[in-house]
Amino acid sequence: MDTKRKVDLTNLNGALHDILVKYRVIADDDSKIVVGTDGSRVKYDKKNPRTEIEIAEVEDV
């Protein structure tokens, strides 16, 4: 984030999932495709605000 104001991580994750679907990076954001958001965090970086995403395939359990 480019500011230190409070943000809602749940809403940020939801918006991210919607963007990934909109741009067809993923087919849908249901729980069969997005099985987790491990390591989600919000950090302050005024000089270089960004979103970093790592997508990995998981094996069926």
Q: 37 exposed, middle or buried (CB, 10 Å; 0-12, 13-18, 19+)?
A: middle
For the chain, give every domain's residue range. Answer: 1-61
Residue 12's φ and ψ, nearest 5 degrees, are -65, -45
Nearest to 40 by CA among 12, 18, 59, 21: 12
Q: How many Å apart are CA 26 and CA 3, to the nearest integer?
A: 29
What per-residue confidence (pLDDT) applies to 20?
94
Q: Whole-structure pTM over 0.85, yes or no?
A: no
29 token code pair: 């954001």
Query: Tell me: the pLDDT tens digits for 4-13?
Result: 888 888 898 9
